[in-house]
Amino acid sequence: MTVDEVKIGGLGAKRRRVEDSRFIRGMGNYVDDITLPGMLHMEILRSPLAHARIKSVDASAALAIPGVQLVLTGELLASRNLAWMPTLSYDTQAVLATDKVRFQGQEVACVVADDPYIAKDACEAIVVDYEALPVIVNPTQATANGAPVIRDDKENQHDNVVFDWEVGDKDGTDRAFAAADVVSELELHYPRSHPSPIETCGSIADFDRATSKLTVYMTTQAPHIIRAAVAMVAEIPEHMIRIVSPDLGGGFGNKVPIYPGYVVSILASILLERPVKWIEDKTGNLISTGFGRDIYLRGQMALRNDGKILGVRMHTDSDHGAFFSDAQPSKFKIGLMHAAFACYDIPVAHLTARGVYTNKAPGGVAYRCSFRITEAMFFQERMVQAAADDLGLDQAEIRRLNFVKDDDFPHRTPFGFLTDSGQYGKCLEIGLEAIGYEDFLKQKEEARKNGRLLGIGISTMTEPLGAGNSREYDILGIKMFDSAELRVHMTGKALLRTGAKSQGQGHETTWAQIVAHELGIPADDVVVEEGDTDTAPFGMGTYASRSTPVAGAAVSMVSRKIRAKARKIAAHLLEVSEEDIEWELGRFYLRSSPDSGVTIQECAMAAYSNLPDGMEPGLENNAYYDPPNLTWPFGCYIATVEVDPLTGVWDVLNFVAVDDCGVRINPMIVEGQIMGGLAEAYAMANMQFITFDSEGNCVGSNYMDYLLPTAWETPGFELHEVVTPCPHHPIGAKGVGECATVGGPAAFVNAVIDALKGTGVRNIDMPLLPDRVYEALTEGHDVSGSPPVRTDL
């Protein structure tokens, strides 16, 4: 009577996503679905200018509109010392502007009214007198002599530099370059983009005068962090704050930072003692909330003639917008940029990084990234291809030659990370085989003779996923770990809660699978809850694909605690000592007589009805898990493309992805994550960017300008898998949620550049719009830098 793990929805089962039954029937419960008695509505007035002094704000006409309950301005907030808030990166950010506006779309005032339409109309009735100031939209302008200081609110800020940071071994790297046969160079720009979940951000703050308790329903990927931040900033005791993150319509990193709208809705509810709802519109979301990327990269590689990489130099200039509000928990200024080149055996490297303020919306560093990893891996893989081209080497061969080998783990990366497992070569060979590498190279040569431009691009990378461990990661001093709490009811059904928060990744499905694997309780008998700080154990939320590495590990650990107690109960029921019983999935049995046993469900019932003497009743527990290291999944992405020389349009012929995320809890969900990630990678390479004109007007603030690929544009992807278990994770799993977005873009770009081989073009910056490809091809030069502002609008 052994339980069949796949049948009960355990590890490796392609279990259908349980949350989807409500999502696809329109029965999800999103913030905007929630209506509370007496609820008011808030709208935000945003700045039309990117940089301007505020001379006055006159709200009298707005206040006179029937149905308007409150107008909040920077001045009013300042009187309560709330006009500025701390950011997650030790900077400050204006909640509502007081002295100046610093980017287009910045929050200037908020109106609370009986309905959202009145509030919106009233926003338009507010008269703001601005005095326009010179605008800065890129790092070159930001660091030019005499550039206006954007952050003149900060005492010791006399320029626009946010940070100047370096890491690695400068002298050692210089020596490697001195010894190099060839130095390969590349400059790139990774344009600003936006996670753009379908659901925008929003909140309902409900301050209850009777109990003095503040409940906030909000779109957040990290409810406990928000609770702590509200407690610190608003000085409300932490136990009097309840943050509820209900169903989220996607996050992709957009819902990690703390936005002014959340803060003002809370203040408004406290002032009015009524619930206040704020739901951002699409333009508000695209124009003002956590963008990703926007970074200039310059790199050099020291190479031996045979292709061996001897050292790497990197410099980055990152554009953080008006406030340094990166939501990244590492101790490093530029996130995990220096995890670049982790899959290659490179002795030495050096990175310098400079961050600047500009008159653009503040960054979140978010967009399916692990804190600049997307840029790091793009850069790495573009560099490797450029190096192969410079040396006249095959692009697969240069990777083979430099990969960290399977038995060289643990491996110290050139910047000091410790990778612990992988089969990089195997992944690459599977990918090459699947795409038909050798054949394609021949096909490419043949096609050339007929004037057709075919290209193939490879991108291989290992990505640090997890955040923590607590040694290296914290948010404002709060250590990075995560948690799970499991209650097994007397009938053997269970409730599991974690400190993570799904935004669409399927935690309700996969966490139950881990419990099924550990305890043999069918996954369908386990309900999973996340996102309510009054019930969920403390956790750091979901980003950096940390849920499986950290909260998922906690689910295993708490299940094992439950199993340990159940074993004692089983011994009692079987009237033997604990040493005499064995465990198989779902059941304890007598070693001497395997037919005699008790199921986990029988143990659960006994936990409430028939306990050994002196044992505490009940079958529940919790676990806090601080992982010993990050997890290091690997991805190999290979694209073949054809470029139309007459138009610059490129089509994807084939795409192969080989992902190794260790043990897969739910292979179907993993494939869904990879498919979604590749669609975003394709978007980035092909069409997606937000740019600004010289006055700081944001071009990309709606779906006419900011393109999301639909099923129609998105190419098909062929997926393969390799499993190298994570050596420190309780079930051997590694994170996977971002791998494809991180590794994917370089495969597309490398393929297009490969198709243009022989024309002298080494680089076209993303997105590879047809006009940029056409220009590169016809004029034989690189097309670099910030994408042009669209003039056809």
466 binds ligand MCN (CB under 6 A): no
Task: Say how many residues make up the chain.
Answer: 793
Q: Per CB under 6 A, which region of 10-18, 246-254, 313-321, 414-422 contacts ligand CUN?
A: 246-254
Beta strands in 211-294 (DSSP E): 213-218, 241-244, 276-279
Q: Is 81 left (phi over 0), alpha (psi -120 to 50) or beta?
A: left
669 binding ligand MCN? (CB under 6 A): yes
Chain positions 724 to 783 lying near ligand CUN, rule: CB under 6 A, are none
CB 478 within 8 A of CB 232: no
Any idea which residue has 């007598």 for tokens?
Answer: 590
256 binds, among ligand MCN, ligand CUN, none (CB under 5 to 8 A by kind): ligand CUN
Query: Measured from the CB atom, is 387 or 528 closer to ligand MCN?
Result: 528
Q: How far is the CB of 365 from ligand MCN (least distance, A)?
A: 11
**Among 10, 139, 223, 251, interactor with ligand MCN by CB under 6 A:** 251
Which one of the listed residues 102, 354, 368, 382 is annotated catalytic? Answer: 368
Cα 411 to its chain centre, rounded Å, is 25
Stretch that binds ligand MCN, among 245-253, 406-414, 559-567, 643-651 (CB under 6 A): 245-253
Nearer to ligand MCN, 552 or 696 (CB): 552
Task: Single out the residue of 101, 312, 369, 600 in contact with ligand CUN (rule: CB under 6 A).
Answer: 369
- The rounded Cα 454 to chain-centroid distance in angstroms is 33
| 3-state SS assignment for residue 292 | strand
How many residues of this chain bind ligand CUN (CB under 6 A)? 12
CB atoms within 10 A of CB 152: 12
Residue pair 10/95 in contact by the 8 Å Cβ criterion:
no
Of 55-63, 295-303, 414-422, 665-673, the segment contacting ligand MCN by CB under 6 A is 665-673
Bridge partners (DSSP) listed for residue 45: 109
Q: Please say if 738 is a catalytic residue.
A: yes
Choosing from 366, 435, 604, 746, the residue that interacts with ligand CUN (CB under 6 A) is 366
Exactly one of 106, 221, 395, 505 is catalytic; name it: 221
Left, alpha or beta for 193 (phi > 0: left; psi -120 to 50: alpha)? beta
**Site for ligand MCN (CB under 6 A): how many residues?**
36
Q: What is the nearest approach in angstroms of ligand MCN to the Cβ of residue 198?
A: 10
Per-residue b/e over 747-780, b at no fewer than 16 CB within 10 Å?
Answer: bbbbbbbbbbeebebbbbbbbbbeebbbbbbeee
CA distances from 225 to 242, 399, 474, 506, 704 (A): 12, 40, 11, 21, 35
173, 313 Cβ separation under 8 angstroms: yes
- C-alpha 230/C-alpha 239 separation (Å) is 11
What value does the CA radius of gyration of the chain take, rounded to a whole number of Å?
27
Contact status, residue 549 vs residue 729, Cβ threshold 8 Å: yes
Q: Which of 134, 172, 250, 436 binds ligand MCN (CB under 6 A)?
A: 250
What is the H or E stretch that residue 518 is in?
Answer: helix 507-519
209 a catalytic residue: no
Considering only 368, 572, 587, 772, the residue that binds ligand CUN (CB under 6 A) is 368
User: Site for ligand MCN (CB under 6 A): which residue of 355, 531, 627, 662?
Assistant: 662
316, 542, 621, 714: residue in contact with ligand MCN (rule CB under 6 A): 542
User: Which position among 344, 415, 473, 543 is part of the footprint of ligand MCN (CB under 6 A)?
Assistant: 543
- The span from the CA of 75 to the CA of 359, in Å, is 22
Q: Which of 110, 123, 369, 636 is catalytic?
A: 369
**Residue with nearest beta carbon to ligand CUN:** 253
Q: Which does 661 bind (CB under 5 to 8 A by kind): ligand CUN, ligand MCN, none?
A: ligand MCN
* Residue 336 binds to ligand CUN (criterion: CB under 6 A): no
Phi, psi of 56, deg, nearest 5: -160, 155
368 in active site:
yes
183 residue type, one letter: V
| Amino acid identity for residue 215 in this structure | T
Contact flags string 498-517 toward ligand MCN, x per CB under 6 A: -----xxxxx--x-------
Binding residue for ligand CUN (CB under 6 A) from 217, 291, 543, 650? Answer: 543
Contact pick of 113, 590, 733, 751 for ligand MCN (by CB under 6 A)? 733
Find the shortest distance in angstroms from Cβ 252 to ligand CUN: 6
Residue 96 or 669: which CB sits closer to ligand MCN?
669
CA distances from 512 to 239, 486, 523, 559 (A): 29, 10, 5, 11
Residue 661 designated active-site: no
| Cis amide linkage into residue 251, ω under 30° from 0 | no
Encoded amino acid at 775, one letter: E
Give the footprint of ligand CUN on this chain (CB under 6 A): 221, 251-253, 256, 366-370, 543-544
Enzyme catalytic residues? 221, 368-369, 738
Query: Which stretches of the chain bind ligand MCN, using CB under 6 A?
Result: 197, 250-253, 368, 503-507, 510, 542-548, 552, 661-666, 669-670, 673, 676, 733-738
